[in-house]
């Protein structure tokens, strides 16, 4: 199959985080994280629906040949301590996930590019994110996309043993 046809097989669009598709993808993500991390407080960090509302953030679903296989979210950091530490126009990537059977097709990279475009549209000039020490595929993706490691921030300070935080200017 040609690259053009492969890219035509992928669709990425905003969806409600409260919908059944989002719930299914987040449930699969949480199950995978639970299997990799057994430490208390090491996973299932919060993301509230109002944080990904239009004009504030976004929740995206990736569909491969019509089937939902991935997701990712962007939220503007608004907590005073985080804004003070990280800057006023910073967004955080959350809930990045691609189903194991769909990996290796560039879906994660495509989600990341789309989230970066959404961040620019919201006037953000920097992105931060957290992933885990036991997620080599995520670590490789973020490093290859130009993200640099930073000290744990916010809620991730408590899970510093298993958390790896990154930042990238847009």
Average pLDDT over residues 37-63: 87
Q: Are strands 10-14 and 57-64 parallel, antiparallel or unpaired?
A: antiparallel
CA angle 99, 103, 109 (to 5 degrees): 105
Predicted local distance difference test score (pLDDT) of residue 2: 37
Q: How many domains does the chain have?
A: 1
Task: Please enumerate in sequence order all residues whose Cβ is within 8 A of that of 15, keeping only pairs 6 or more positions apart, or say none.
Answer: 21, 22, 59, 60, 61
Predicted local distance difference test score (pLDDT) of residue 3: 44
Using the predicted structure, report yes or no on whether residue 44 has a pLDDT greater than 70: no
Give CA–CA dist 33/47, Å, rounded: 16
**Which range of residues forms the domain containing residue 105?**
3-169
Q: Cβ of 76: how many Cβ atoms within 10 Å?
A: 19
Structure tokens belonging to residue 168: 């990238």
154 vs 81, 91, 118, 159, CA distance in Å? Answer: 8, 13, 23, 10
Q: Indicate the pTM of the whole model.
A: 0.90
162 or 8, which is more confident? 162
168 vs 25, 31, 45, 93, 158, CA distance in Å? Answer: 26, 28, 21, 11, 22
Q: Residue 99 sits in a domain of what CATH number?
A: 3.40.630.30
Predicted local distance difference test score (pLDDT) of residue 84: 79
159 or 52, which is more confident? 52
């Amino acid at each position: 199959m040609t690259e053009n046809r492969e890219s035509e097989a992928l669709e990425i669009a905003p969806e409600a985080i409260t919908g059944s598709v989002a719930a299914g993808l987040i449930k699969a993500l949480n199950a995978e994280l639970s299997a990799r991390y057994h430490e208390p407080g090491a996973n299932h960090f919060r993301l509230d629906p109002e944080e990904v509302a239009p004009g504030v953030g976004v929740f995206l679903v990736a569909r491969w040949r019509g089937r939902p296989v991935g997701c990712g979210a962007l939220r503007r950091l608004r907590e005073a301590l985080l804004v003070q530490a990280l800057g006023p126009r910073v967004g955080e990537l959350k809930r990045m996930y691609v189903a194991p059977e769909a990996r290796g097709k560039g879906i994660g990279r495509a989600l990341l590019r789309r989230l970066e475009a959404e961040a620019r549209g919201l006037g953000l000039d920097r992105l931060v994110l957290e992933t885990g020490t036991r997620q080599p595929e995520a670590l490789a993706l973020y490093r290859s996309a130009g993200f640099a490691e930073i000290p744990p921030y916010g809620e991730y300070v408590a899970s510093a043993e298993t958390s790896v935080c990154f930042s990238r200017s847009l």
